[in-house]
Structure 1
């Protein structure tokens, strides 16, 4: 049963990259620390979203204006690369080193900003986290883990369209910056039935970005550094054998996106507000893994994330919750392990908003995303 735990869930984790709350991409997984012995892996995943919508009528001093514009392919395809290495220093103490793109955004609205509500609005942001994790086994059942994260991030945001009024044409560039945070957690296991419940807390990470702000290509003055905190989060992962060669697994992830603020100095002075407003997210997953032979196993799971308190969202994240299904398989030959899978996401309907009070500017519905993933692992 213990061997089942190291193989069956692999198929589910191969497709972890996809849309989730805020700009979440991989969920800050730390499960490599539970691999037996010395182990290394590399992974690749690709997500292909289909996100489109239409302008809503816009109130202007001259009356209501309806552009009739539609936005296609607002969210660009994105790829993610990851790696991990884990080693047992002793019977009780082990360490792991990982790298993964934990957050990101690739959004671009087409259309003439002079004739559409949101045309010209875009966001491109990337973060890559390196984590060093240590685990101490108190006994066969109880263990604790902790570590440090090093996060590298940068981004560019552009606002365009009639809905932004006098700040249409605004752009901010946040130069690459490195921030540090920590993780801490523990687990309880019953190896005989492949049971494990693990909890991991990830701290927020503060970035102090050197900032360049322009309006229609012209500088609007020197800006102080922009402080941005990536969200703190809690991951709860559970698995247990429920029959011979069959594993039930699940997870809950909560992330505090409501504290994620981007408020460059000059923009805040012009508008009295920041660029991004997001809701906290809680994502649930439940699935089954099955080992069919000594070498081959497969899994299927369902993922659900509720939307915010309403369907008004930031134009820079034009979806609201999701439902997803994943299918995966894993095959082991000797010490080598290959796993892969596919995930289909039904993205929640949303209405991008601007202004104070929040006013819907477009309607996005019936959108989806497909993710595929591949992981290569080796036990040394």
Structure 2
């Protein structure tokens, strides 16, 4: 059972590459310990793309006339990850990986008829280098520990249309790299392909500086942003010959994440002292999947993910709240080589900002994973 289920799992974990999700509005490549438990030496490269469609309209009760449509304000994007797993000894394994944990691409169409944020754009980029160790304390219990170096930067060019007047705000942030850590524990029962892993990822604090410009005024600002801490519970077990049931639960501390340059709070873009990116409610993300090995070369998986909506007011640069998704994946294996192709549909949860309401939004993701054992 366990040998077959390992082949199935190579396909099942493709949930990480089938298209970035919208947790907290900026999640791109969520962390997983899956590669650490692959047998032997392996290198994996993943390439993913996601095309969302997020639009809304002005709601009543604001200074703007209700009903004006925003147009699609979220652009498509791609991600990539690279990971290598190496056994260091009989009891110790190491994973080195590069990924892009967070990101945002915002572009309100400039052709919308009177929408107050028409022409506003913003981008957030990140990259992380992770080293993760696994040490077997007993045949069934392992301890996990690692270091994560995260780099982040961003910029924004906002417009606010108020009648014939157009107010502007621009931000160019520094690029900062700072450390965090990972700790965890795992239990395994290989004869039934069972494993449970509990991991904690620390928050990472970035001290940014940036140039802010608004209506002819310019300032050099400093602010602190903490990317969220999280707790991840992953589990799997064989339920029949060549069939694996797997899933995860992840808590993410989005209530500690904000981007608040000083000058921004003094502009009309800030409502009641709001930040450029305000904290949102913490999220719980649930994933459940089934993988099956059809023969020596082919396996497949079906994966469902759900993140409940909080109902809180969110920012105009990330007007989403929860999501549901379904992914299909197929893996081809021939000796040391493997290739996984995944397709994911995401129903993006509706959300309210201080001026608009966004609903009936969705997106498609596609991903390719290539693996080589050496």
1:269 deviation in Å?
A: 5.0
CA contact (8 A) 1:194 1:239 kept: yes
Name the counterpart of 2:52: 49
Q: Which runs of 5+ in 2 are unaligned?
A: none
The reply on whether 1:366 has 2:347 as its aligned counterpart is no
CA contact (8 A) 1:100 1:130 kept: yes
Name the counterpart of 1:245: 242
Q: Per the alignment, do residues 182 and 59 of structure 1 end up closer, same or farther by CA in structure 2, a change over 3 Å counting? A: closer
Name the counterpart of 1:314: 315
Q: Per the alignment, do residues 237 and 161 of structure 1 end up closer, same or farther by CA in structure 2, a change over 3 Å counting? A: same
- Tell me how far apart the structure 2 counterparts of residues 326 and 10 of structure 1 sit (CA, whole Å): 15
CA contact (8 A) 1:15 1:372 kept: no
Name the counterpart of 1:161: 160
Name the counterpart of 1:69: 68
Q: Per the alignment, do residues 185 and 144 of structure 1 end up closer, same or farther by CA in structure 2, a change over 3 Å counting? A: same
- Tell me how far apart the structure 1 counterparts of residues 48 and 112 of structure 2 sit (CA, whole Å): 33
Normalising by structure 1, what TM-score? 0.91
- Tell me how far apart the structure 1 counterparts of residues 340 and 10 of structure 2 sit (CA, whole Å): 6
- Tell me how far apart the structure 2 counterparts of residues 284 and 233 of structure 1 sit (CA, whole Å): 14
- Tell me how far apart the structure 1 counterparts of residues 356 and 65 of structure 2 sit (CA, whole Å): 13
- Tell me how far apart the structure 2 counterparts of residues 163 and 327 of structure 1 sit (CA, whole Å): 46
Is the partner of 1:4 in helix, strand or coil? Answer: helix
Name the counterpart of 2:206: 207
Residues 231-290 of structure 1 deviation map (CA, whole Å, 9 limit, x = unaligned): 001111100001111100000111101100111122235553322122211110111110
Greater displacement, 314-323 / 18-27 = 18-27
Matches within 5 A, 1:96-175: 96-111=95-110, 115-162=114-161, 168-175=167-174
Is the partner of 1:210 in helix, strand or coil? Answer: strand
- Provide the aligned length of Structure 1 versus Structure 2: 366
Name the counterpart of 2:301: 299
Name the counterpart of 2:81: 82
- Tell me how far apart the structure 1 counterparts of residues 171 and 228 of structure 2 sit (CA, whole Å): 21
CA contact (8 A) 2:69 2:112 kept: no
Q: Which runs of 5+ in 1 are unaligned?
A: 354-360
- Tell me how far apart the structure 2 counterparts of residues 137 and 59 of structure 1 sit (CA, whole Å): 59
1:58 deviation in Å?
A: 6.1
- Tell me how far apart the structure 2 counterparts of residues 346 and 290 of structure 1 sit (CA, whole Å): 25
- Tell me how far apart the structure 2 counterparts of residues 43 and 236 of structure 1 sit (CA, whole Å): 22
Output the aligned Cα RMSD.
2.2
Name the counterpart of 1:358: none
Is the partner of 2:235 in helix, strand or coil? Answer: strand
1:330 deviation in Å?
A: 0.8
- Tell me how far apart the structure 1 counterparts of residues 161 and 42 of structure 2 sit (CA, whole Å): 54
Is the partner of 1:371 in helix, strand or coil? Answer: strand
Is the partner of 2:175 in helix, strand or coil? Answer: strand
The runs of at least 4 consecutive aligned structure 1 residues that moved more than 4 Å come to: none
Name the counterpart of 1:266: 263
